[in-house]
Chains A and B, each alone.
Chain A
Amino acid sequence: MSKITRRDFIKLTGAGAATLAFGYAATARSANGPRVVVVGGGFGGATCAKYLKRADSNIQVTLIEPNKKFITCPFSNYVIGGMRKIESITQTYDALRTKHGVNVVHDTVTAIDAAGKKVTLKSGKTVPYDRLVVSPGIDFKWTAITGYSEQAATIMPHAWKAGAQTTLLRKKLEAMKNGGLVVMVAPPNPFRCPPGPYERASIMAHYLKQHKPKSKIIILDPKDDFSKKGLFMAGWEKLYPGMIEWVPGSKGGEVKSVNTRTMVVEGTLEKYKAAVVNLIPAQTAGAIALKSGLADDKGWCPVDPKTFESKLHPGIHVIGDASIAGALPKSGFAANSEAKITASAIVAMFHGEGVADASYVNTCYSLLAPNYGISVAGVYRVTDKGIVQIEGGVSPKDATAGFREDEAKYATGWYASITADTWG
């Protein structure tokens, strides 16, 4: 028995779900445990890989991520505002590899074979799995606004995937003259990081107030509401009076077209000639999820709320921004929380045990200025309605300056902690 590998064992007994529990028992002795492939090394994927190994080091975990370094969207607004360097929001996979025993492969998954239980990589290799975790983040609907495209994003950056786009938007703000108009085009729901556009507007205003105080920011928004709206609006009034104007969808905020040559952004009622445009497009689940049939007709992935196993392809779990996670927002924090529950469920399945109750948490801090923080926090459980928020809420609206300062301090602490929890 000791010389029979898990694969041989399955061959002998016939491959199938029913053999998995026995397969695991056999491999516990052969040091050749069940195989999980994780696609994507962001908050969801990296956390899941780490917590799988943490729960059962016998599981063979392969993390496939194209980039050798991962630049986080959280805190990228502070790079745009000049408060942080991009190096300080850059994570590596060294600890996952050396401390946690995750096999990290820098390659791109080009196809998922759900029936054959294997993924194909750009390099041509195939990697077999017993369970697959897909954490691909988001992609953009490039054609939703006339005149916008991947090419147009080099002139009107989205900066909604951190990296070169973040640096580009920073450079455009730096190059802008005092008195210039910054137009932000906010995305329709659902999208990655619900408070993100409004935090970005705040931090850009913080930079402009110090260096280009005659400048103005207009947010053109297809929506009539947004995350922490009351707190943001009150903060803008206090910190940046007259600098930030928010145009909701019902007042002409929806943008139909842009022109990258004239820098004109066309709302439904007015045209705006901008010095800098930050256009955050409508979004879908990451391309690989769409290509693999993991997404519904709206472009997001339906999953079991207790295990994040795909409702369309059993054996594949979809976590993070790409998933339809009920009341949970599309945030790095939620992805981290979903990843841990998913890891726990996968380990229980391999062990032939019942899946423990799921419990999710989210906290999103936003800075309006370096010493002015606000938050939204929630505790989530699974009911017959899916994932619902049972408690939580936003920071008090009449909080003291000390309270806002503490939340700003904790925002920075949160970043240090969650990145250590995910990649450390």
Chain B
Amino acid sequence: MRFALLIKIPVLLIAGFTATACTTATPAPVAKPATAPVAQVVEKPVTAATAVNMANNCFACHGPNGVSPGSIPSLHALTAQNITDMLKTFRSGERPSTVMGRHAKGYTNTEIEAISSYIASLNKK
């Protein structure tokens, strides 16, 4: 069932993703934290189980397993490298976004890479 869905959608969704990335090409948001950050994100190893805990949060907006039923871009057709690149450039502000810059700042490089690998691995199942 899940596999059938994955076969049908990829091409359209990659196109959708690119288009959305372009339409959101507004000035990079300088989001003020609602509350002052009280903890620093420091680089440290990430277990597989922690990566799953982090990645599961993505599905609330990007749909179950990254397959979005609505206007938010899907993730499931992207490679781990694609996802990592996007998250890092959202984080730096190099890639404009509405909300993704605010999220991406909450993760270290190691975490971004682990999250990306997990999401991309769902595509292979």
Contact = CB atoms under 8 A, between A and B. Distances in A.
Nearest to B99: A377
B103 A392 contact: yes
Counting chain B CB atoms within 10 Å of each CB, the highest count among A333, A357, A394, A399 belongs to A357
Nearest to A414: B61
A340 B99 CA distance: 22
A376 B73 CA distance: 19
A327 interface: yes
A54 to B, nearest CB: 9
A409 B105 contact: no
Contacts, number: 162
A336 B57 CA distance: 8
A420 to B, nearest CB: 5
A390 interface: yes
Interface in A378-419: 378-379, 381, 383, 385, 388-396, 399-400, 402-403, 406-407, 409-410, 412-418
A356 B47 contact: yes
A391 B102 contact: yes
A337 B26 contact: no
B103 A377 contact: yes
A400 B98 CA distance: 11
Given A389-B33, A391-B41, A402-B26, A413 B106 contact: no
A413 B71 contact: yes
Contact of B60 (A327, A337, A383, A393): A337
Interface residues of A, number: 53
B98 A406 contact: yes
A407 B98 contact: yes
A417 B39 contact: no
Nearest to B59: A421
**Which 3 pairs across A and B sit closest by C-beta, in order of nearness?**
A379-B106, A416-B70, A413-B71
Given A391-B33, A406-B26, A416-B69, 7 more contacts: A340-B56, A359-B54, A379-B103, A389-B33, A396-B31, A409-B71, A413-B72
Interface of B: 1, 23-24, 26-27, 29-35, 37-41, 47, 49-50, 52-54, 56-57, 59-64, 68-72, 98-99, 102-103, 105-107
